[in-house]
Amino acid sequence: MPHPIIAQLPRVIGHRGAMGSAPENTLASLRRAAELGARWVEFDVAISADDRLLLFHDDELTRITGRAGRFADSPASLLEGLDAGARFDARFAGERIPGFAAAAALLGELGLGANLEIKVPEARAEAAVARLVDELAEHWPRGLPLLLSSFSETALDAAARRLPQLPRGLLLERLPRDWRRRAQALGAVSLHLAEASIDAALCAALRGAGYPLLAYTVNRRQRAAELFGWGVHAVFSDYPERLLDLPAGGGSR
């Protein structure tokens, strides 16, 4: 029987907020997702050199901020002062890398459910989850739905031990032969796969095994309709507004 969180998932989840129209993993991107009609967002949480949790995707700072250096080697005081918006568009100049507490507060105000991806090096996975335990207890809005996910099985295992009450999704690029063993070992309630690796037979196999499938990153209506038609439960999109009006059943208009 699917975990109760699955029934709360909308079919379309904003990817890193709404990164097609606002700088990814920023408060502006979370707000934009809500403005566009998304009811859930996905975002990445990384850990700084001094064990602070902030929203960021890349190992390196350059693509987002224009500054050289590695995120994991940088203290939060430096990271929070960097411009995470100007390289996306001059209109967003001054948009900062947000801390977890600020993002959680905004999600509560907006009423957005969230898929929180733990984006950390394996060596920092335990520390990141330990910090996440404290941050969730202090800052996560009561009753706001939350699904954890990660490519790091070390992080998911730590979450299973430290946050057993929270549902977890296993992130993979493509489905490996031992997927069932790995999913069961981690207590995963869903599988999250790259959309290019998904076909009808794979969807049928996962559906038969009782695992909801979430696909990333889907920006074309035709592809989203095809995936929904095969039984994909939800898709992550940079442009959620493009897909929100797809009719039930997967057909395109």
Q: Cβ contacts of residue 69 below 8 Å, gap of 6+?
A: 60, 61, 62
Instruction: Write down how long the chain is.
Output: 253
Identify the bridge partners of residue 234 per DSSP, sorted by sequence position.
214
H or E element at residue 236: strand 234-237
Q: How many CB atoms lie within 10 A of CB 159?
A: 26
Buried b (16+ CB within 10 A) or exposed e, 85-114: bbebeeebeebbbbbbebbbbbbeebebbb
Q: Phi then psi for 147, rounded to 5 degrees? A: -120, 125
Chain center to CA of 20:
15
Q: What angle do CA 66, 124, 25 make, to 5 degrees?
A: 40
15 carries an active-site annotation: yes
Q: Specify whether the CB–CB gap between 36 and 21 falls below 8 A.
A: yes
Three-state DSSP state, 130: helix
Q: Which of 3, 57, 139, 233 is catalytic?
A: 57
Query: Any long-range contacts for 210-215 (C-beta under 8 Å, 24+ apart)?
Result: 210/1, 210/2, 211/183, 212/2, 212/6, 212/9, 214/9, 214/13, 214/115, 214/169, 214/190
Residues tagged active-site: 15, 57
